[in-house]
Structure formats: structure tokens, C-alpha cells
Chain A
Amino acid sequence: MTATDQLEAPVGDGDRGGSDGAMTRLLKSWRLAGIFIPFVILFVVLSIASAPFLHTANLINILDQQASYLDIAAAGTLVLVAGGIDLSVGATYGLTTVIAGELALHGQPGLAIVLAIAAGLLVGLVNGLIVTVLKINPLIATLATSFVIAGAALKVTSGNLVVLSATSSFFKFANAQFLSIPSAVWMSAVFVAVLALLLARTTFGRHVVAAGGNAEAARLAGVRVNLIRVVTFVISGGAAGLGGVIDTSRLLSAQAGSGGSQLAFTVLAGIVVGGTSIAGGEGSVVRTAIGVLFIALIGNGFNLLGVDPLYQQIVLGLLLIAAVALDVWARRRRR
């Protein structure tokens, strides 16, 4: 009791740590709040500027559209924190939509869900092994596999669009309503919450942070860095699979080219805007979720206000630069 209390006590007039410690704490809390503040401001501004914005239907619609992005970005956060990056999520998403679409079309809704997610997990495993066993830079490795996966996805449908009917039971997977909120939103909420707890509260999460923060030190401290990295890639692939199934069910169509680099980069943008460091070693799933929704709000707001979508891209780009600059600055402060 006494020792703990003493050590947890706020910094007094300690010699070196004093002002610097306070500064770091302030900076850290500001970084934590970083994405929340602009999010709240944007939310309030949109509520005032656009009458339809605050309607429940509009807000649920945003969440519904973002369900797959939230899943994939939450998992991508783990990959990034562990020191990797997964650019193949877009292609994996495309592959799993066509697998789910084809199987659902042939009257196998259960199999569609299971096999599509399994395909995502498999892709993640392959990515993880390429990165850890062959020791290929994850950026290059997942860029390369995304070409392979996209090609495989085209093969599945021969390039055709798969269209499903709203009467199939597969439709219910993402569109069943509970408390007037579609199951897609519930699933992504649960998935994000589980990953958030996994990263913040478990030994696995600590090992993810250690692997990305200093791989050498982590390994010598007994962390199985390669295993941890593979698992993050598997989670990322599985999330892409889940996202693919959700959107196939939600939109009742599947196409090999859906997702792609557009999805991979939008997800990455959400993670980075949320304040997770591209250098690895720190990050938060909750902030990623806010980051993804923040980008979605910009899109939604621009649509509602009738602003040229062109500006939406420009704003997003500037935002990314600001987010990364803040990260670099925060790291430099610590040296």
C-alpha cells in the first residue's frame, strides 16, 4: 500500500523528472484527446450546419457504412503497433466478398460466412509468415500479396459482379435489426471493443507494444516477437474477411475489385489520424475507431452540405500530415 501509493503519487519537485514529466504527461493526454476534440467540434458544427445530419437514420447509416472499415482499422492498429503494416486488406476484402457472394448465390449462406472469414485468416497467416520467416519488409510483402490476392479474386468470379437477392437468409447476417440498429454495427462494435481490450489490457497486447517498440529488447526479454507479429497479421486478415462478409450481406453484391488500395489507404488514414504511430510501439484501437469515424463524418458532412467531394480529399490529406507531424513532434519531445 505505502510503496505503491508513494510511487504512483504525482511528480513533486523531483530533480530531473519534474517539469519534463509534467510536460510529457500533458502532451500524452493531449495526444489522447487529440482526435476526440476535433471529432466533437466537427460533430457539433455539422449538427448546426446541416439539419438532416443529427437524424438517427443518418447517424446509424454512417455507422452501418463504416462497419467494415472499423473492423479492418481496429485490426490494422494491432499490426501497426507491432511494427508491421498491412496493405493487403483491400485485396483480401475483395477476395472474401466474392467468396461469400458466390457461396451465398449457390444457397450456402453459412458456408459463405465461414469460408470467407477463413480465407481472410489464411491470407493473414501467409502475410505473417512472409514477413517473419522470409524477413521481407511488411510494406513490400503485403503490397506483393495484394496483387496475388486481387488476381485470385478475379479468378473466382471471372471478373463478374455477383448480385444476391434480399430474400436470402444471408441478407440477415448484416441487416438483422436489434434495438433498431443493424447487426453490422453491433458486430463491428463488439469486434472493436474486443481488440481494444486485447491491446490495452492483456499480456498479448503488452507483447504487441513491446514487439513494435523495440523488437530486439522484446525478444531478449522473452517476448516471441515473430509469433506476435504473425498473430497480428492473422487478426488483420480475419478482420478483412469479416468486413467483406458484412458488406456483401449489407449491399447484396460482390465484386473482386471492391476494396482495393482505396480501402487499404482509407483504413490506414483512419488509424494514423487516430494517433497511432506508424513507427510502431504505441497506439490505441479506440482512437483508431474515432479516427475512422472522423473521416466518415467529413465525407458525410461534405455530402450533406453539397461541397465538392474534391475538397474532401484535400482536407483528408492535410489532416494526415497534421496527425503525423504531431506524432513526430511528440516523439522528439521524449528524447
Chain B
Amino acid sequence: MTTGTFEDTSRAARTPGDDLVVAGVSKRFGGVPALVDVSLTVRAGTVHALVGENGAGKSTLGKIISGVLTPDEGSVSLGGVELTLRSPRDALAKGIVTIAQELAIVPGLTVAENVYLGAEAHHAGFLRRREARRRFRELSERVGFRLSPDWLAGQLTTADQQKVEIMRALSRDASIVIMDEPTAALAEHETAALHAIIRSLAREGKSVILVSHFLSEVLALADEVTTLRDGRVIRTVAAADATEETLIEGMLGRSLGAAFPEKTPPPADAEVVLSVEGLVAPGVRDCSLEVRRGEIVGLAGLVGAGRSELARAIFRDARAQRGTVRLAGRDLAGRGPHHSIERGLALIPESRKEMGLLVGRSVKENVSLSRLDLVSRLGWVSGTRERRAVASLLERTTVKAAGLRQPVSMLSGGNQQKILFARAVMCGPRVLIADEPTRGVDVGSKRAIYDLIVEMAREGMGVVVISSELEEVLGLAHRVLVMRQGRIVAELEGAAMNQQAVLAAAFSETSDDEHQGA
């Protein structure tokens, strides 16, 4: 699929838009300042990026511009007219569209119905289905996503659901588009398609406000970059004058040092702790792999290539049709996750809120959940032993929490992720599978999580890291397996382990499959 050019499909190409001016905006939440005297100008027809650590105020600023929040002080004006937005619908009417971090789709409606939700083609209240279809087709061509309009949105993958959101935003003739981490859940080629859309929006004279953790993305797309730290604007610079290093320095107030810890590969004769042979499961076709003690194996591939499916099949969460999984030589008969954990396999699932955490419960309960037996006798949980065990795990995983009883919903994304690591460490596994360990995590926490993974491997654990961020896989792993269409298609090591090789394998020609299919 080419990411294509489609600049001339809009009749209103290059209408000069209006500049968006944020002047002296401050916002506090219950006495805690989230934004302090923030001023910036988003010029029409440009991409303006907001960068900063989690909690720096990027999302709050986005919400103020889109009318979800009202500033305590200061103003937001568009073309010299002060904006007072009362609701998201009001913001839409004024041409301000947000693509939020948290998905807002209706699972029971189809793709097309979700895209046109609240703006359905109708005639006197009756839906005009043919018209809706025509519009959907046009929009699909324009944005280059291939989604059937009739699929139920709830059955799509996260990445596809995100595409639905993006299409919805683009279907509303917006003059200002706010994108909050739009590519976090997308695979590389989909990201490329979205980047092309963002550029074309700017060419059409629209302003895009991009909130992103991916600094390479920010540098590639943005015209200007505003760095926020602790709710204040540190500086706004032209993207051409910035580098990842200068941005990180601005975000952290110091330089980060190397992005990844030093690699310490295991000795060549290290024992094999995980061996998978001929595994066949939903989304997994005949996969075999080995992980040795102290080794970090990266699992790369596009979203939907079957990486998470393989992880869950190894963890014996999905029922395998064929194949064996051995953990330190012992067969892991498919009796479910509880049995896998007992045998020494831990999984950190890809989506921490849906699959990992009990969001409303305390830090303590979330950490100890898998191994309550360690802090209990005859089923009776010992409060003291549990507190002591959890406190030492939190220290080890560098979780910053106000207390053991704080609900995990109050923690930042990075700390939530570390809670899952604390839980996994408590399991004392021989093998850890970490699926997207740093998704939606700020720069500072990322490094802490990398350190943790490397340390766990150094202590003799076998680690499998699954990530959509290629840099992360390459930066951490001693060996990389690339998946495509449910199969492991390449094993890369040493000098062969580079970005081109991984991408080539991930995208490699589908011709052989087509032959098989024919």
C-alpha cells in the first residue's frame, strides 16, 4: 500500500486559516498547578508539536484548546476572536477536532456508523444509507485506510479502532486538529499513512496540534515544537533547529544519557529456559523458538502479525491446537495462566488497563495478586508480610506512589507499568514475556523500565520483549525474531540485527503466501 498523495481532493485547499493564540493560560486541579502562564501561537497551516513528560501538561493544554476544560486564567483565541467553548459539540461546530489518547468508539456500531456518529447523513431524521456509504468510500480513499464500513467497531484491533477515530475527526471539516498520541497503537506502515495525512492537513491550511512521546515523529512532522515541563513552557523552537537530545534535555531539565542500558549477552552455553516447538494457535502458525537463561529475545513485526497472540499461546492463555511449550525442560500443559505462573512463566500483557491492572484497587493489591500465597498462610493474608513484600518490590521497580493503599488509577502510566513489573518480579519467573512494556510511558520511566528488564535478564531470567517500537527491540534484545502473518519469518543476531533487516522481514513479499493460497 502506498501512502499516496491526495492533496487535491479537498476543494478548500489552501484557504488561509486563522492563527490559534494561547495567551497566559493557567489551570489548577484542586490546588495543584497543571499549567502555569502558558502562551503559544499555532500558525495556520502548520504542525505544532507539544512535548513533555507525562504530567507536564500537554494533554491538559490540548483539552483547554478543545474546550473540554476551561482555563482558570488566560484565554484561547482563534483569528483574534476569543474562544469560549461549552462542550465538545460546540468545539466541533467551530472546527476544532480532537483525536484523543483514550478511544471513544461505540463497540456495538459499525465502522461507518462510528465515523459519522453525531453527523449522520439524514433526511428529516431518516438515515440516508447510500449517501453515507458514498461518503465513507470517499473518505477511505482520501485517508488511505482499508476498513470495511460494515465491521463492528468493537471487534477491531486497537489500531483499527484508532483509525476509526482518525477517520471520524477527518470527516468533520476541521480547521484545527488536536492529536494526542495518535500513533501509539499503530504499526509502522499505518503510522506512515497517518503522517502523510497530517502533512496534507497542514498543506490544506489547517493547523495540527500534535502531542507525542515519539520524538523522531515530532521532529519529522512538526514545523514548531513547544516543550513543556511541570506545566510551564520551556521553549518553542522550529523543529529544524531541534534534535532529540535538545528536546529531551528541555523535557527533563537534564540530559538523559544513553537511551538504552548496555547489553550483556548470556554465555553461548547458557541453558535453554523456554523452548517452543511447532506451536499452532489462533493467529499463530507453526512457531518455534528458544530462549536461554539471561537472554533478551525481541519479537518484532507489524501490529497484527501475531506477536501478542504468540505470547498468549505460550502463556497458555489461548488454547493451542498443536505444538509444545517447555519451561526449563518441563512440558507446560495448557491448563491456563495460573498454571503457567506456578511453573515460572510471567506475562506483562500489552494493554495495562484492560488486561493488567485492577484500576480501582490499591497499589498493594495489584502487586500481590499473582502470588498472594507467598504472604498468606492457609489462605489467610498476613497484612504485615504483604506490606513488607510489596514495599521492597516497589523499591526495586522504582515505583513512585503516595502509599501502598493508593489506587493505581492515580498513578502515571510509567508507574502503572512498573506495578505490573513488580507483580511479575514477585512471581519469581524463569521466563518473562513483556508485551509492549513501554506503551504510553514517558521518557524518564522508559529508561527505568529498560534498566529493569536488563537487570532481570542479568539475574538469570529469560526475557521476551514484544514492541512496536523498533528502536526498543533493537536497543534491548540480544536476538530478534520477526513475525509476519502468524509465523516467525526471520531470526536476526549480531550485525544482521538492524532496522532495515527487521523491516524487510516484517514487510517481506507476500508472494509465497499467495502461491499457497492459489
A residues engaging B (CB < 8 A)? 3-4, 7-11, 14-21, 23-24, 201-204, 206-207, 209-210, 213-214, 216-224, 281-282, 331, 334-335
Contact = CB atoms under 8 A, between A and B. Distances in A.
Interface of B: 29-32, 55, 315, 317, 336-338, 340-342, 347, 349, 354-361, 365, 368-370, 372-373, 376, 379-381, 387-388, 391-392, 394-395, 401-407, 409-412, 423, 427
Contacts of A281: 358, 360-361
A202 B406 contact: no
B430 to A, nearest CB: 15
A3 B392 contact: yes
B336 A224 contact: yes
B346 to A, nearest CB: 9
B370 A222 contact: yes
Given A20-B29, A203-B379, A4 B391 contact: yes
A206 B381 contact: yes
Given A7-B404, A21-B410, A214 B379 contact: no
Contacts of B404: 7-8
B365 A209 contact: yes
Given A3-B391, A9-B403, A219 B337 contact: yes
A21 B402 contact: yes
- The prevalent SS among residues of A at the interface is helix
Contacts, number: 135
A41 to B, nearest CB: 29
Nearest to B356: A217
A282 B401 CA distance: 22
A18 B400 CA distance: 13
A8 B31 CA distance: 23
A217 B357 contact: yes
Contacts of B357: 214, 217
A281 B361 CA distance: 9
A216 B354 CA distance: 7
B361 A19 contact: no
Report which residue of A24, A201, A207, A220 has the largest number of chain B beta carbons within 10 angstroms of its beta carbon: A220
Contacts of B317: 219-220
Contact of B359 (A11, A23, A214): A214
Contacts of A7: 391, 394, 401, 403-404
Given A7-B404, A221-B370, 7 more contacts: A3-B394, A7-B394, A8-B404, A8-B405, A16-B32, A18-B30, A210-B369
Nearest to A277: B360
Given A220-B347, A221-B369, A14 B402 contact: yes
A218 B336 contact: no
A15 B387 CA distance: 23
A213 B31 contact: no
B29 A209 contact: no
A334 B405 CA distance: 14
A14 B403 CA distance: 11
A201 B55 CA distance: 35
Nearest to A331: B360
Contact of B379 (A10, A202, A220): A202
A328 to B, nearest CB: 13
A4 B388 contact: yes
B410 A17 contact: yes
Contacts of A9: 403
Given A7-B391, A202-B379, A203-B373, A222 B410 contact: no
Given A202-B381, A220-B349, A16 B412 contact: yes
Contacts of B355: 216-217, 220
Contacts of A15: 32, 55
A19 B358 contact: no
B360 A19 contact: no
A18 B403 CA distance: 11
A230 B30 CA distance: 44
16 contacts: A8-B387, A8-B403, A10-B403, A11-B402, A11-B406, A16-B410, A17-B411, A21-B402, A24-B410, A210-B358, A219-B317, A220-B349, A222-B342, A224-B338, A331-B360, A334-B407
Contacts of A219: 317, 336-337
A263 to B, nearest CB: 30
A286 to B, nearest CB: 17
A209 B361 contact: yes
